Structure 1
């Protein structure tokens, strides 16, 4: 299956991608797919299994959630939309500093 993804970048630019995905993929899996095969400049964080949970938190289809736990699925507009959380300083793309 194909998933259409929109990523709001720091510079008020929205990038769109079309990625292959399966029903059990998380948003983090989709980001890794984009990084490996479409755009290696995309910045995002995760710290699974290191005790720094919540570093992968972002707005997913307009709602805050953990990208490592949220199943990737399109929103009402047909796109999986990703953007940084509104609070804190955005370092780059989906990476925040608190």
Structure 2
């Protein structure tokens, strides 16, 4: 297994994790691994897991994308960097509210 370094922008601070990466993991799989093995306080949303609902949309390596569809790959800085979308109110971590 390969190690994957992950940075998550959580509003006031950034959390960093190193996880075991398996080929084919999506960003949502990475978030689930972090939640289950490292930090159960991380907040993110998902629903259908097929890319239809767009609930899991977030900034992935600086670009908006669906975490359930996007393969987990490090960006130019060597980290998989996750952040909430820029518009809307951030409720917590990667969770946004749109009115």
Partner SS, residue 29 of structure 2: helix
* TM norm structure 2: 0.93
**Number of residue equivalences:** 97
Counterpart residue number, 2:16: 16
- Gapped regions of structure 2 (runs ≥ 5): none
* TM norm structure 1: 0.94
1-structure distance, mates of 2:40, 2:64: 24
2-structure distance, mates of 1:73, 1:49: 18
2-structure distance, mates of 1:4, 1:77: 10
- Gapped regions of structure 1 (runs ≥ 5): none
Runs of 4+ residues deviating >6 angstroms = none
Counterpart residue number, 1:58: 58
